[in-house]
Structure 1
Amino acid sequence: KISVYRKMRLLFLLLCCTVAFSCCKAVEEKETNDAYYSLWEAQKFLLEIVWHVQEPVALPECQDVEFVNDAVQYTKFDSDMQRFVQDVQHQCLLPRNDFFSAVVRTHHQQVLGLYKLLTYAKDWTLFKQNVCWARTHINPGMFVYALNLAIRRRKDCEIFELPPIYEIFPQHFFNSEVIHRAMTVSKKKMEMAQKQTHANNGTVSERSLHDWQTWQWWKLMGLSDQHWYLDTEGSVAKRDGLTKYWTPVDYTRDVYILNDETRLSYLLEDVDWNANWYEFNLNFPPFLEDEELGAHHHKRSAERWIYEVRTIMTRYNLERLSQGMKPIAD
């Protein structure tokens, strides 16, 4: 009887342990799922906050949000932040319709204050509130620049990203012709252009070449510079299930008109080239103190900066040589 009793107690103990373990595992899984959901919501918010950034914000949580200027709510509150608060109170902010440049002294003073107000916010809730306020009241270029800087330096934003700058401000990276095509495009026209291309089997009609110029490379392919074409061969589009379109664009037509530098328009107006330069300056902002830069970069970051600048200049000088131009001296 004693042996049976002990076995029953042992069995009951094992059953309790199993139930407890299952409950702990369920709680752990729930906490993990909640954490993933919170991260997903945060990333979704950052993507939506820069969507059509030059238009009024449409997010419900960003309506009628007030600016937080209480120094207690920040881990640090220095003179740059105080100056920005004064600019807000005196309504001296850069107008929303003006062009922003981080190399303009008055612009970078304001963006530095805004960046610190976003970066030194004590928690995500305050950070989000400041972002919502800035989205409505701050110049779009300044807002995106400060937000990009902040999410690179806040520990709770390290895994988040914003869209490429040419997706946020396409008008600064594409010429007016491309922007106009994108604004007036219709799915029906794209389908018709695709059918016409397939019908011609890639052959070039005599009509399309009657006014052909040497820089019109797309006409030799039987394409029109007035249409968008569906990318059916792109591996990225197939892998991610995207619908990808492309259109011919030329940046070498009017060379030599303004000055000799326009020979390099194919490089200087390249979208990825300019986006890379924007990202580079976000990683090494010229107006941040050494202490702040050192806290977010490797101790040999200065060497990395020199290396990247030299790489860019080497490529630029190679392109100059290819066009019969003298390289720029170091």
Structure 2
Amino acid sequence: MKLTLVILALVGCVAAFSVPTQKVKVADKDFLEKQKFLFEIFYRVEDPLMFEEWIKIGQKYTFDKTQYETFDFYMEKFWESYKLGALLPKGEFFGALVKTHHKQAYGLFNFFYYAKDWETFVRNVAWARIHVNEGMFVYALTLAVIHKPEFEGLILPQIYEIFPQYFFNSKFVYEAEKFDYEVFSKYIMYEKEYNDILYKDYSEFSDNFYFYTKDWKTWQWYKMMGLDQEWYVEDKYFLRENYAEFAKDPKYVEAMKGFQRFYMPVDYTRDIEFFNEESKLSYFTEDLGWNAYWYYLNMDYAFFLNGKQFGLDKDRRGEFWIYNVQQILARYYQERLTNGYGDIPEFFWYKQIEYGYDPQLIYYNGIGYSYRKNYYDFYTYGNFEMYSQIQNFFTRVYKSLESGFYKTADGQVIDLHKPEAVKFIGNYLQGNADTFDKYFFNYYYLLAHMYFADVDYSDVEVFPNVFLNFETMLRDPFFYTFYKKFTDVFYNFKYFLKPYTKSDLFYDGITIKDVTVSKLVTYYDIVDFDVTNLLNDKMTFVDGEFVWDKALLARQARLNHKPFEFDFTIESKVAQKGVVRVFLGPKFDEFGRVIPLEYNRKNFVQIDSFVYPFVAGSNTIKRSSKEFTWTAEDRITYSELYKYVMLASEGKYDFPLDISEPHNAFPDRLVLPKGWEHGFPMQFYFFVSPFAEEYEQFSNFDYTYSSGVGSGTRFVDSKPFGYPFDREIDEYTFFVPNGYFKDVKVYYVDTFAKYFEKKYEHFGTFDYSIEY
């Protein structure tokens, strides 16, 4: 984790320009034992548990109520379901948004969360690893580790390392599970294939054309770089942008000595079948970091957790969640524009969905994910009762917003035309446990996802569908279409709030004179993702200790950008603190027309914010994209972390608690849209507002290794998320000296062109000089 707090949100509104220096803590023996247990219990989770120590501990479940801080209804029902054989069987698809699955997972989570001590927790976890459905186990345990205060600082493998099947296409998964690292029998087969097909000689027809391109696939550029078989051993290093930080560390070299790495190139599903024009965006919608961000946001602010009990209400959970939805849609729209597409398609209750989606994923039990054909009609094929319920939820809230108030079942009247009502609207839209009328609004969100995945109220065994789990739903273009309904409600609420006046926005004494932005450049680089959990081999133990001596890695191209910088020139009449916010938005629509600001405000993504102590006079501020404290670089892999833990357990290494980027930070590489080779026009908006807060930021959590979820002191100020773009805009009053627009262009550089154009001088050798 960065030494400055990673703010863990697509909104940059909670970042700080600087934080007080704080010494990073080093893990003690007790912490390392806990960390080792978690890493081992997640290892190849779909396979039987092979660690003898945990097998022995997991033989008995702790049902003694005195061993728990509380023992609630969900725990009772979970235990009854187990005794009756009614739990979701192992090997079946688990959907976090399937009602029957959710209730069981909630009970299991409570058994983990309310355990009074570590021994009870370990016994329950080991038992569940042996007896409970794998997907449910991972979901419940991840929630418990994130939210249980005693576990602060413990690191879990990323969700794409635990279940690679959720993130990589079935072709890759099949190949990975068949992989035998000791027998390279495929080498000769692939050598022949590429000699016969890729390297056909057409010199008799042309002096300059030697490559067969009729069936060309994007992944074939690997072959141009010397990867002449699918599986291979490489003695260089893990590919990621921040690898140098580790490679220079002698302790890292010691930890990884003798460690074997096996790689396989993998592409996005767009290269297998071009399902419709939306498939062109799969490099973005199927990005692992993009999908993992949404997953962890919904784990941090799980809809069924009580806000007061878990402190989530302190973080303005509902408002924060719906603003993240709005920012995700805005970022997706920016990517659509760079590909020549326009607005996100609207969702109509009685209209066909034009764009289908085939995820080409396979669950670990071998069953493929459901797909949706083009021009699919949800209304005709769905459960009409459930459909009407979902529609009724939206109808009810629209009517409430129009009337301006809502009267709850217990007689409470809520004024919905006041700014503070945003918490009620946010909670309603998430369908969370804090919603203002549980009788009408609780769980509608869950039902909506069940409906679109064709799951009935009481279904237990269901077909895999991307809409039933947070880590897969952003892959589907329909996600963005349906979630526009959520933001439409949010904008409807904001419509009834008066636009900010000039006096509201004006910061006396502050004038932004100029902001210089360095060149914005995007490109594709390649990265290795740890998919060791797919390995189909025996496990080796020496003196009872697991020997983790090999890793399986998926090597994939992904969107990235070069670091860029801002140079601010800001004048201040007096010495004072201010909050600087930075937004990035489009300037033109898909037809090249300027988008009016009153509409375009919805398309701005807040990429940074920080507190700055202005001095009287001129202030020159340099700010690099590397300093964005809400983003994360590439994370250290599961395999590497385990090696570090074992080295520390032997007393040979001081394991720092900030060794890994936080689980829920937004990928730095996705801050900018892809852009165009000749420059995609966009605009920055910079805004400075007064800093005046009653609480001290980071005051009740250690920012070096904690994200502070539920602390109430994560945010730099109490302004609405997205301020000042959060309300309707009156252009006659919006422009103030402390706000500044800057036109820019985003340039895309094709780093792979040299391989296709035969300009790579080291043909047959992997190019480690490619941009990182």
TM-score bin (small chain): 0.7 to 0.9
Is it true that 1:47 corresponds to 2:39 in the alignment? yes
Aligned to 2:341: 325
Q: 1:315 aligns with which of 331, 335, 345?
A: 331
Pair 1:108–1:55, CA change in 2 (3 A): same
Q: 2:79 aligns with which of 85, 92, 113?
A: 85
Deviation at 1:224, TM superposition (A): 4.2
How do 1:167-182 residues align onto structure 2 when only pairs under 5 Å count? Answer: 167-182=161-176
Q: Secondary structure at the match of 1:247?
A: strand
Q: 1:210 aligns with which of 173, 198, 212?
A: 212
- Matched residues in 2 for 1:270 and 1:231: separation? 27
Q: 2:247 aligns with which of 219, 229, 238?
A: 238
Q: Which consecutive unaligned segments of at least 5 residues does structure 2 have?
A: 1-25, 192-197, 202-209, 345-483, 488-772
CA root-mean-square deviation: 3.1
Q: Secondary structure at the match of 1:86?
A: helix
- Matched residues in 1 for 2:229 and 2:330: separation? 33
Q: Deviations over 1:148-191 (max 9, x none)?
A: 0001122221121211111111122222332344342537859x
Q: Which consecutive unaligned segments of at least 5 residues does structure 1 have?
A: 1-32, 197-203
Q: Deviations over 1:109-150 (max 9, x none)?
A: 111111011100111111111101111111111101100000
- Matched residues in 1 for 2:97 and 2:182: separation? 41
Structure with bigger strand share is: 2
Aligned to 1:272: 289
Deviation at 1:206, TM superposition (A): 5.5
Does the CA-based 8 Å contact 1:205-1:222 persist in structure 2? no
- Matched residues in 2 for 1:143 and 1:45: separation? 15
Is it true that 1:166 corresponds to 2:166 in the alignment? no
Q: Deviations over 1:18-37 (max 9, x none)?
A: xxxxxxxxxxxxxxx9x821
Q: Deviations over 1:55-74 (max 9, x none)?
A: 11122233352122222211
How do 1:1-330 residues align onto structure 2 when only pairs under 5 Å count? Answer: 36-59=28-51, 60-63=53-56, 65-183=59-177, 184=179, 186=181, 209-211=211-213, 213=216, 215=218, 216-221=220-225, 223-224=227-228, 226-228=230-232, 230=234, 232=236, 234=239, 235-236=243-244, 238-239=247-248, 240-241=252-253, 242=256, 246-251=263-268, 252-257=270-275, 259-293=276-310, 295=311, 298-328=314-344, 329=484, 330=487
Pair 1:227–1:209, CA change in 2 (3 A): farther
Deviation at 1:79, TM superposition (A): 1.1
Larger Rg computed on CA atoms: 1
Pair 1:90–1:214, CA change in 2 (3 A): closer
Deviation at 1:245, TM superposition (A): 5.2
The amino acid that maps onto 2:266 is V
Does the CA-based 8 Å contact 2:70-2:114 persist in structure 1? yes
Does the CA-based 8 Å contact 1:43-1:161 persist in structure 2? yes
Pair 1:136–1:119, CA change in 2 (3 A): same
Deviation at 1:267, TM superposition (A): 2.0
The structure showing larger relative contact order (alpha-carbon pairs under 8 Å, at least 6 residues apart) is 2
- Matched residues in 1 for 2:100 and 2:87: separation? 10
Q: Secondary structure at the match of 1:286?
A: coil
Does the CA-based 8 Å contact 1:153-1:296 persist in structure 2? no
Pair 1:272–1:44, CA change in 2 (3 A): same
Deviation at 1:223, TM superposition (A): 4.0
Deviation at 1:221, TM superposition (A): 4.1
Does the CA-based 8 Å contact 2:306-2:312 persist in structure 1? no
Does the CA-based 8 Å contact 1:114-1:146 persist in structure 2? yes
The amino acid that maps onto 1:160 is L
Does the CA-based 8 Å contact 1:108-1:287 persist in structure 2? no
Pair 1:322–1:220, CA change in 2 (3 A): farther
Does the CA-based 8 Å contact 2:112-2:121 persist in structure 1? yes
Aligned to 1:27: none
Does the CA-based 8 Å contact 1:47-1:163 persist in structure 2? yes
Q: Secondary structure at the match of 1:218?
A: helix
- Matched residues in 2 for 1:312 and 1:246: separation? 32
Does the CA-based 8 Å contact 2:75-2:108 persist in structure 1? yes
Q: Secondary structure at the match of 1:66?
A: coil
Q: Deviations over 1:194-252 (max 9, x none)?
A: xx9xxxxxxx9666832452634435545447244637365356243356554332222
Pair 1:179–1:286, CA change in 2 (3 A): same
The amino acid that maps onto 2:211 is L
- Matched residues in 2 for 1:121 and 1:254: separation? 47
Deviation at 1:310, TM superposition (A): 2.4
- Matched residues in 1 for 2:317 and 2:75: separation? 26
- Matched residues in 1 for 2:294 and 2:109: separation? 20
Structure with bigger helix share is: 1
Does the CA-based 8 Å contact 1:218-1:225 persist in structure 2? no
Pair 1:188–1:62, CA change in 2 (3 A): closer
Q: Identity over aligned residues, as a percent?
A: 38
The amino acid that maps onto 1:115 is F
Pair 1:326–1:254, CA change in 2 (3 A): farther
Give aligned pairs, total. Answer: 285
Pair 1:187–1:57, CA change in 2 (3 A): closer
The amino acid that maps onto 1:177 is K
Task: Tell which deviates more after alignment, 297-306 or 96-105.
Answer: 297-306
Does the CA-based 8 Å contact 1:68-1:130 persist in structure 2? yes
The amino acid that maps onto 2:91 is N
- Matched residues in 1 for 2:284 and 2:133: separation? 29
